[in-house]
Every structure is written in C-alpha cells, then in structure tokens.
Amino acid sequence: MGGTASAFVVATVGDNTIDRYVGDETARYAGGNAYNVAAQLAGHGRPVAYFGAVGGDANARVITRGLHRAGVDAAGLVTLAGPTAVTTIRVDDGERSFESEEFGVTADYFPSDEHLGLLARAEWVHVGMLPRADELRSRLAALRRARGGRGPVVSQDCAVASGFTELAVAFGSVGEHGDARGWAAEAIAGGAATAVVTRGAAGAIATDGTDWFEQPAVPVEVVDTTGAGDAFIAGYVDARVAGLGQAAALERGARWAAAACGHRGGWPLARVGATSGRR
C-alpha cells in the first residue's frame, strides 16, 4: 500500500488508529502517536513520511486517506493480515477518557529491510508506539555506523515505547504533578542523550544531563487534549531539524500543543470526512 519514497526530511514510525468517540460525542478521527506527529509536521510544511501498518479493512482506507489529506508521504505504509487499530474514547459531560484500545496489526508491525534503508536516509526518525522499538533503534544505529556515522537523529515517545539506548531524544510525560526531573535523569542514565518531559499545564523541561531548560505551557481554551503531546513532539522536532536550540524547540512544541488543544482530534483535519481543499 506504500507510496513511492520522496525526499522526506523526517520519518515517523509506529502506530496509527481510528479514534472513535462515543457517549456525549460521536465522531471518528484518524490518529495515533506516530501518525499524529507526521500529520502535524506535514501541516506545518515539513516533508515527512509515515511508516506503519493497517489491516485489510475499511478503517485502513480512512487511515490512508488521512495521510493524503495531511500531506504525509505514505512511503512506509503497509497492509498486514488483521484489523486496523481502533481506540475508543468516551465523552461524558465534556470529560474524555480512554475506554479501550485495540491495537490490531500495529502490535505486529516492524519495518522491512527495504524500509529500514529508507529510514536511514532521513535526517530525523521519530518512533511512536512500536513493540520492537529497541530493535529498531539498534538496527538504525548499525546502519549509521556502516555509513561512517551518517544517519538520522532518533527520538522516541517513551510513554508508548520502551528503552533509552541509541536514542538522541527521549520524550516523556509525567502530568502536572509528576517527577519530571526524576524521569529525565532516568532517561539520561539509561542512555538517552537528551530528555524532554511534558507536564501538562505545568509546561515542559529538557536536559542533556548537564544543562536544564524549562518552558511554561501556552494558555489556551481547551477543546480537546487528544494529540496535544504528539503536537508538542512535532513542534520540538521541527525546530531542531531547522537548527534551533533547546529553548526555541521547547517553545515551538508548547505553541503547537496549545494549538492542538483548540480543535477536535490529533491534527486539524483528523475528523473522518474532513477535506483539505487539495485537488
């Protein structure tokens, strides 16, 4: 199902899902951690490709159309036997809670050797939910060594994928009252070069183990927090790819996260049936 590889700068690897809202609100959105990050980057003009899996069902077409609508290169989208992932989010009196997650074929996905070669040529690879994330980071590191040190910066959403080795940027989330500095120290000790931790309304921090940076949350009237963390990651990655430092990257991440809280779904055109105006 994948498209032809293009000159993408960033690649995201891992999960996609249909976010199915039930209860006081009924709607469907194309989302998922890695998927949302790709859609956010593409929406801000960054060339990006998505690598992940869908099943052979109607939901797969929704995911594929969403990539096209967002402007994401589907170079790494494959079809596996089984269902496309579905996440059910219950809305009661304006409050949202995750009711169930059916991971479907995303639980079995891993990039092929051919797709690993494509990933190795990107400037930045971000890993979302991926059961074999440790293996992916190790394989990319081996390819980088084989190419004389040339290869992508690798980041990972460690809230949904495990491991810190061979990782340039570890993203974590501890909530407004969590121990962000403790989590960051654990990530650095585990092998990550940089740790970035979001704290909801309390903002975010980043460290390389020596220097620390803090970023307050950007005030916003919240419509839906779904995908706000993914938008933060996308903003941070976009700034770093552009050559900006930690403070500027955290600030861009905070702004993109605030914008994501202002609309339904993980990216602006995530709702099934939305149109982009492309011809």
DSSP β-ladder status, 86-92 and 73-79: unpaired
**Residues 115, 117, 121, 125, CA torsion sign:** positive
For 275, the token pair is 């149109």
The CA angle 217-38-232, to the nearest 5 degrees, is 10
Q: Is the pLDDT of residue 3 over 70?
A: no
Separation of first and last alpha carbons in the chain: 21
Coil, helix or strand at residue 236: helix
Cα–Cα distance, 82 to 227 (Å, whole number): 25
Task: Assign 110 a pLDDT band (cuts: 50, 70, 90).
Answer: very high
Q: Do 171 and 156 meet the contact criterion of CB atoms below 8 Å apart?
A: yes
pLDDT tens digits for range 14-73: 999 999 999 988 899 999 999 999 999 999 999 999 999 999 999 999 999 999 999 999
Cα–Cα distance, 222 to 202 (Å, whole number): 15
CA 114 to chain CA centroid, nearest Å: 22
Q: Do 260 and 267 meet the contact criterion of CB atoms below 8 Å apart?
A: yes
- Ranking 77-81, 144-148, 213-217 by mean pLDDT, the lowest is 144-148
pLDDT value of residue 2 = 44
Percent of the chain clearing pLDDT 70 (strictly above): 96
DSSP 252: H
Strand partners, 215: 204
Kindly write down the DSSP assignment for every residue of 110-130, as one continuous string: ---HHHHHHHTTSSEEEE-S-
Q: Do 37 and 237 meet the contact criterion of CB atoms below 8 Å apart?
A: yes
CB atoms within 10 A of CB 254: 22
pLDDT value of residue 6 = 52
Structural Rg of the chain based on CA atoms:
17
- 81-109 mean pLDDT: 92
Q: Is the pLDDT of residue 269 over 90?
A: no
Average pLDDT of the chain, as a whole number: 93
Q: Which domains does the chain have, with CATH numbers?
A: 10-260 (3.40.1190.20)
Cα–Cα distance, 137 to 143 (Å, whole number): 10
pLDDT tens digits for range 199-254: 999 999 999 999 999 999 999 999 888 899 999 999 999 999 999 999 999 999 99
Q: Is the pLDDT of residue 278 over 90?
A: no
The CA angle 13-16-17, to the nearest 5 degrees, is 165
